[in-house]
Structure 1
Amino acid sequence: MSGGGREPRSRQWHWATPESQAALATRDVSTILRHYRALHGLSQTGLGTLLGYDRRTSACWSLGSAP
């Protein structure tokens, strides 16, 4: 994060797109994670690493099931 507690503009625009707004509006974690992965070209392993979890946990979350 940059000064003032706001995210840099380069990160903000991703969530301002209609597709991102639609994913967020579902309030469904698996939908939001799948959208984030697609938006940033991440694999389940990559997302798990980014979040500090293994691929299996990330895969479960992306499928909407418990790890």
Structure 2
Amino acid sequence: SRRGLDRRNMDPAERVVKAAWYKGAVVTHRPKPVSPIVNQSKNKNKQAKKPKPAAPSKK
């Protein structure tokens, strides 16, 4: 019964902390805001890779 009481007392506080942390984690790991950044990185990599093979090709 002691465990149940401790659990009940910690539930509200832990729930709020976990909810806030989970919300932050979900927002940080959301694919929507990351998608545009990943697309931009891919485009930049493609542009940087294009001139690289052109140099050895000329040689």
TM range (shorter): under 0.3
How does the TM-score come out when normalised to structure 1? 0.22
How does the TM-score come out when normalised to structure 2? 0.25
Higher relative contact order (CA 8 A, sep 6+): 1
Q: Which has the higher helix share?
A: 2
For the pair shown, which has the larger CA radius of gyration, 1 or 2? 2
